[in-house]
Structure 1
Amino acid sequence: MLKSLFNWKVLVNLAVAIALFVGLVWLTFRWLEYHTNHGQEIPVPNVVNKSVHDAVKILEDTGLDYEVDSATYNPKYRPFQVLQVYPAPGSRVKDGRAITLKVNPRSWAPVAVPDVLNKYSGLAFQRLDQVGLKVGDTIFEPSIQKDAVLRILFKGNAIKPGTKIPRFSIIDVVVGSGPMRNITIPNLVGLTVKDAKAYIARNLFDVGIVEYEDGGNDDSDIVYYQDPASGDARDQGMQIDLWASKKTPAELRDRIEQLNSMYRMRVDTTLAPIRYEEVPNFEDAPMNDVSPPPVVTPKPTTPKTSATTTTSKPVSTKTTEVKPKASSDNTSKQTTTKVADKPKPPKVTIQ
């Protein structure tokens, strides 16, 4: 067994295999050194405070790659100024290594305008401030949406929610000041429905019911009737109903008269005007707290009788009228008391 192991043929094959393995390892490392530029390092140039365009040119001439990172905007530095380099300037790196450049952007990072339309102005201002937008002028415009945000203006132009603008930009906000009162209704008869709708919007009213004569819903139809009538005064935001047809208003006189009887109130001026008189309210009159005078009951009086004498003549009877005292309120009536007749006294004979 040992003799066969130390055979010269076996030893030669083993030596050839070891030589081939060592040669392959050496060639591999040499290839790696050549491919990775082993031992060849380039110092990172100092491009801090330079513009990004100059810094990129210097790195390309040196044989280094670059990556630009827009840092938070700092108004103390110039736009597109290199603020920091990684790896630090002076560090040795391989040829082709990517160098990261932190550059000051031209302005603040853009932010999306929040959706604050038709919302209360106080809450809208808070939301705009949270995202970093500054409110410049507050413009009040007549609208039925009082104290609601109607539009947002950026550099004089209306922008929609979601539009991205630089952070800390100054925007103007249009807020509703409430409806206008007593606006004259325009005359829309004779216009097309399309023109009438635009005219209504310009005059701060809303389009109400639009009734088409033929039911075709064609905005090219001519308006032959409107309610309220032209010349009436209404508040902003009131609806104006329209009646439209392919025919002209002159051809629809009967229909117009029918609508007048329904929507136009006629006032009869031949009737006498109604006069209103103020009726006093006795319930509200103050009551005098005066008690009525007490009622005094008259006391009965005893009639006086005259002295009788014994005579031969008969004693006549008399009727005496006694008047009671009058009460303090003069409401008692006088009463008359009759004295009853007394019997005749008997005759006395003296002997």
Structure 2
Amino acid sequence: MLKSLFNWKVLVNLLVAIGLFVGLVYLTFRWLEYHTNHGQEIPVPNVINKSVHDAVRILEDTGLDYEVDSATFNPKYRPLQVLKVYPSPGSRVKDGRAIRLMVNPKSWAPVAVPDVINKYSGLAFQRLEQVGLKVNDTIFEPSIQKDAVLRILFKGNTIKPGSLLPRFSTIDVVIGSGPMRNITIPNVVGLTVKDAKAVIARNLFEAGLVEHEDGGSDDSDIVYYQDPAAGDARDQGMQIDLWASKKTPAELRNKIEQLNSIYRMKVDTTLPPIRYEEVPNFQENTPEETPPVTTPPAKKEAPKTEVQKPAANTGVKTGTAGKTEVKPKTSATGTADRPKTTAPAEKPKAKRVII
């Protein structure tokens, strides 16, 4: 076995195989050096703070490739300004290496306008702020949808939900302020159904039921009756029903009278007017009760008995029956004092005469 391995033919084949392997390895490395420019390196130029157009031109002149990537918009830097470079400036790379440029975009990244139409204004404002849009002016417009978002304006133009706007853009919002009251209903009799609907919409009303005489749906039919009638006052958003036909209103007089008997209320003026009387409310006219004031009881004084003595100038006269009569005294002002009540004088006792 060992003797056969040391045969000269085997050794020759082994040496030939080793030589071929070494030759292939050498040629492979030489080919790689040629195609990869081994030993030929280029320093990365410093293009930070330059515009992306100048940075690309410099890299192309140096023999380097480039990749442009945008970062989050920063208002502190100029639009399209190179903020970072990878590999860093001064690094040595091979010819044709791609250099990655981080560039400040022109503005904020665009965001989609959320669908907040016909939504409550409070919730709509929150949704707009969440996506990065700022509400500038709030415009109120008459509408039956009170406090609901009707339209979104950007630079004076109406935009639809889903439109892309730069982040932190300023928009205006149109909000409904409630329906207008007592709007005069227009006269659309004699117009086509198409024109009548346009007139109704311009006057802030809505077209309701449209009944065609022939049962069709041709908008070129002539309107010969409407309800409510022209000249009546209604609130914004009320529906106006229409009756249309290919005939003129003059040819449909009987039909119009029949509709008047249904939709027009007739007032009988022969009846006497009704008089209404108001029942007085006595409770409103009664004065407010005041709490009684308690006063301490007055002390009763015992009447004094005066015994008037007869005098010359006292003004007291003695009657035959033994009664005394008191005249009222006159005060210094000339007014008479009220006479005082005096007790009757006692009758004089009879004297006993002794003979």
Q: Give the TM-score of the pair, scaled to structure 1.
A: 0.78
The equivalent residue for 2:336 is none
Determine the C-alpha separation between the residues in 2 that align with 1:47 and 1:281. 95
User: Cα–Cα, structure 1 residues 233 and 17, in superposed 2: closer, same or farther, change >3 Å?
Assistant: same
The equivalent residue for 1:72 is 72
Deviation at 1:283, TM superposition (A): 9.4
SS of alignment partner, residue 11 of structure 1: helix
Deviation at 1:36, TM superposition (A): 1.9
* Cα shift readout 1:12-55 (whole Å, capped 9, x = no counterpart): 11111110011011111111222222222211111111111111
The aligned amino acid for 2:71 is: A
SS of alignment partner, residue 174 of structure 1: strand
Deviation at 1:279, TM superposition (A): 3.3
Point out 4+ residue stretches in structure 1 off by more than 6 angstroms.
281-286
The equivalent residue for 1:212 is 212
* Cα shift readout 1:48-96 (whole Å, capped 9, x = no counterpart): 1111111111111212111111111111111111111111111111222
Determine the C-alpha separation between the residues in 1 that align with 2:152 and 2:103. 32
Q: Aligned runs of 1:42-121 on 2, under 5 Å?
A: 42-121=42-121
Question: Is 2:14 the partner of 1:14?
Answer: yes
Sequence identity percentage: 87
Determine the C-alpha separation between the residues in 2 that align with 1:131 and 1:285. 65
The equivalent residue for 1:233 is 233
* Cα shift readout 1:305-351 (whole Å, capped 9, x = no counterpart): xxxxxxxxxxxxxxxxxxxxxxxxxxxxxxxxxxxxxxxxxxxxxxx
Q: Aligned runs of 1:1-351 on 2, under 5 Å?
A: 1-280=1-280
Deviation at 1:102, TM superposition (A): 0.8
Determine the C-alpha separation between the residues in 1 that align with 2:285 and 2:56. 100
Determine the C-alpha separation between the residues in 1 that align with 2:281 and 2:2. 146
Deviation at 1:144, TM superposition (A): 0.9
- Segments of 5+ residues of structure 2 without an aligned counterpart are 287-355
The aligned amino acid for 1:96 is: G
SS of alignment partner, residue 39 of structure 1: coil
SS of alignment partner, residue 277 of structure 1: coil
- Segments of 5+ residues of structure 1 without an aligned counterpart are 287-351
Determine the C-alpha separation between the residues in 2 that align with 1:199 and 1:285. 56
The equivalent residue for 1:300 is none
Q: Give the TM-score of the pair, scaled to structure 2.
A: 0.77
Question: Paired residues, what number?
Answer: 288
Determine the C-alpha separation between the residues in 2 that align with 1:160 and 1:182. 32
User: Cα–Cα, structure 1 residues 90 and 187, in superposed 2: closer, same or farther, change >3 Å?
Assistant: same
SS of alignment partner, residue 220 of structure 2: coil
Coordinate RMSD, CA, aligned? 1.9
Deviation at 1:280, TM superposition (A): 4.4
The aligned amino acid for 2:181 is: R
